[in-house]
Structure 1
Amino acid sequence: MKILYSVQATGNGHISRAMELLPYLNEYGDVDIFLSGANSSLDLNFPIKYRSKGLSLFYTCKGKLDYTKTAFALSPLRLRKEVKDLPVEKYDLVLNDFECITAMACAAKKIPSINFGHQASFYSANTPRPKEKSKMGEWILKNYARAPFYIGLHFQRYDNFILPPVIKKEITRAQPAAKDFFAVYLPSYCEHIMEKYFHPLSPVRFHIFSWQTKNVKRSGNITFMPVEKALFNDALINCSGIITGGGFETPAEALKLEKKLMVIPISGQYGQQCNAAALEQMGINKLDKLDDDFTGHFNDWVQTKPVKINYDHSTEDIIANVMKLSIAHINKNNSYDLLTDPLLYSLH
């Protein structure tokens, strides 16, 4: 079987998930990778067949999406050419992790595809949303990478087509500790802004992962670290708690490790607002932004206990379900239902 796996690189979460899934996906056929976007700090570490700038997201230094810079980076003519040139018709199965060029190419060439990933879970009305819904945000989530069929991933099983998170093996096999530092990953904030709010918390120590840092460096009670897989995994496993954005993979891994977790979703990024709403329902602390009240919020948060959730499933089980569903869909065998599959019960 020839498989095209399209991965959105507007953040490190999609790349991290792909790195974990690909060894298992390769067992089902010959896999070619299409990587789209330019926001990831991680290397995929697998051969990439097709590459595109796609739609890249840009941020201000203060935790917000930079709409102007994001819009100016768009190139409609380039996108049109890439849609035409992407040979989706050569593949038996197209798995698409929220990538718009693949979705448009499949629609134009009438090739069936599977939207597989976290964003696919938002096609369920049961998936948590913030109190104030965004009409534009909802439209983007449901139209950016449309497909005939969806398999979602989320913190909990809100619907029968939603599976639990993909957790890296380095995390599932880890023996977590609680050393005297907190891990921080807030990619939409610049270092000088984070210094303003984390320096006053001295002598509490922070390991802050920053896209601006190429080598480890110290700044008072802060150690700035480059966004590298091994360094980040080690910090996540050994920290006393983690402060991060409203993404999906990092909060899921923090939950798996039973770490204290605080989320600060990126302003203007509706998917992160939705994730934060889901985490709030689970008892996780959420802030709207870093501001002058952060010291008080932090001091209250460190007194809380971690939320416990059971993530005992394996990535191999997730891929087995995905492939079973995908092949059934491609063969138009709609009798297969994820809800009734005995394998799914190990994924609850």
Structure 2
Amino acid sequence: MRILYAVQGTGNGHITRARVMAPALQQAGIQADYLFSGRDPDAYFDMECFGQYQTRTGLTLATHGSKVSKWQTLRKSRVGEFYRDVRNLDLSAYELVLTDFEPVAAWAAWRQKRRCIGLAHQYALCFPLPGTEKAPLLKQAVSLFAPTDIRLGIHWQAFDAPILPPLILPQTYPLHHDASTILVYLPFEDGAEVRHWLLQFPEYQFRIYLKTETPGCEGNLTFLPLSREGFQQDLARCGGVICNAGFGLCSEAMQSGKKLLVKPLKGQVEQYSNAVILEQMQRASILQDFDKTLMRTWLSRAGADEMRLPDVAGRVARWLKEGAVESPQELANQLW
């Protein structure tokens, strides 16, 4: 069985899911070719496990001033290039397309009448989740962005819907909780503002990952280039994580038993909903702005319990190999 696995490359959470799925697909006897879109080709890192993968420009949301900018999103969208990529992507060699909210392959599958299965957190947004009440057209927007024949949504709870548990790589480094060390990943925020805020807590060490070529230090701040291995090491030993409310990193932090302080990206309903659900689960505090008092309260809190997860990737891979006959609801019931 040969499939095309297409992955939205805008956020690292999509790629993390693909890292989990890759060995599971191979073990199930499925040959997968990989296509990524949503960022510049030279901005991908630690991609060896995907072999000779393809890239496309695709579609993505643009941000400005720590919020989604509709104008910048429209201005930067290369609609003509997107249409050409959809038209030129030949799917004749594949039995099906598996898309993690990647639009080029999803629309090419629709155009060529090739079976397409969606496996992504975003497909959970097609169901009524906390924090989505003010977005009545969300299901239509998700379907329009990356249409599929079958949707497998992913979330931290089932919400009485055909939603699967998270797909997360198992923690490879020994876990311990150094309360004085905090991991920070805020790629959509103003770096100078983040720096000024964190310098006000000199008794804590902040490990900050960002787009830089070389590491650097300033007081209690350590600035680090993006690295999957280094990030996982810091995640294993830190006392807590400060991040935007993306699904992937929050899931990894919960699996490792780390407390979370999340700052949802303004204007993005997915991150707002994630933050609301995390707060309801008592897994995170929500940061609307760089509030010193809230930060002090959060820093004083204890860590959380580790989140135990089933082998979602293995079960999904076997489901695909068996022809994806069982309904998403049956699959979800087995995993939960």
Choose from 76, 80, 101 the match for 2:79. Answer: 76
Provide the residue aligned with 1:304 in structure 2: 301
- The answer to whether the Cα contact below 8 Å between 2:262 and 2:284 also exists between their aligned partners in 1 is yes
Distance 1:188 1:138, change over 3 A: farther
Distance 1:43 1:133, change over 3 A: farther
236-245 vs 27-36, which deviates more? 27-36
Q: Confirm or deny that 1:320 pairs with 2:319.
A: no
Residue 283 of structure 1 aligns with an amino acid whose one-letter code is Q
Distance 1:157 1:140, change over 3 A: same
C-alpha distance in structure 2 between counterparts of 1:115 and 1:224, whole Å: 36
Q: Confirm or deny that 1:21 pairs with 2:21.
A: yes
1:76 is displaced (CA, Å) by 1.5
Where do 1:7-156 residues align within 5 Å? Answer: 7-27=7-27, 28-38=29-39, 42-45=45-48, 46-60=50-64, 62-125=65-128, 127-130=129-132, 133-135=134-136, 137-156=138-157
1:117-176 deviation digits (Å, cap 9, x = unpaired): 211212222x3324x52346554234211211111211122245321111213x1x4431
1:327 is displaced (CA, Å) by 4.3
Residue 162 of structure 2 aligns with an amino acid whose one-letter code is F
Which consecutive aligned stretches of 4+ in structure 1 deviate over 6 angstroms post-superposition?
A: none
Distance 1:340 1:21, change over 3 A: closer
1:38-69 deviation digits (Å, cap 9, x = unpaired): 07653422224431011133323x42123333
1:239 is displaced (CA, Å) by 0.5
- The answer to whether the Cα contact below 8 Å between 1:57 and 1:70 also exists between their aligned partners in 2 is yes
- The answer to whether the Cα contact below 8 Å between 1:122 and 1:142 also exists between their aligned partners in 2 is no
Provide the residue aligned with 1:197 in structure 2: 197
Distance 1:340 1:55, change over 3 A: closer
Q: TM (normalized to structure 1)?
A: 0.87
What is the percent sequence identity of the aligned residues? 28
C-alpha distance in structure 1 between counterparts of 2:30 and 2:17, whole Å: 19
What SS class does the counterpart of residue 252 from structure 2 fall into? Answer: helix
- The answer to whether the Cα contact below 8 Å between 1:321 and 1:344 also exists between their aligned partners in 2 is no
Provide the residue aligned with 1:222 in structure 2: 221
1:310 is displaced (CA, Å) by 3.7
1:325 is displaced (CA, Å) by 5.4
Residue 64 of structure 1 aligns with an amino acid whose one-letter code is K
- The answer to whether the Cα contact below 8 Å between 1:121 and 1:154 also exists between their aligned partners in 2 is yes
Q: TM (normalized to structure 2)?
A: 0.90
Distance 1:178 1:307, change over 3 A: closer
Provide the residue aligned with 1:279 in structure 2: 278
1:319 is displaced (CA, Å) by 3.2
C-alpha distance in structure 1 between counterparts of 2:139 and 2:95, whole Å: 30
Q: Confirm or deny that 1:166 pairs with 2:174.
A: no
- The answer to whether the Cα contact below 8 Å between 1:282 and 1:307 also exists between their aligned partners in 2 is no
Provide the residue aligned with 1:254 in structure 2: 253
Residue 301 of structure 2 aligns with an amino acid whose one-letter code is T
Residue 58 of structure 2 aligns with an amino acid whose one-letter code is G
Pairs aligned (count): 331
What SS class does the counterpart of residue 240 from structure 1 fall into? Answer: strand
- The answer to whether the Cα contact below 8 Å between 2:126 and 2:139 also exists between their aligned partners in 1 is no
Q: Greater relative contact order: 1 or 2 (C-alpha under 8 angstroms, separation 6 or more)?
A: 2
Q: Confirm or deny that 1:269 pairs with 2:268.
A: yes
Distance 1:189 1:219, change over 3 A: same
Unmatched segments (≥5 aa) in structure 1: none
What SS class does the counterpart of residue 92 from structure 2 fall into? Answer: helix
Distance 1:232 1:84, change over 3 A: same
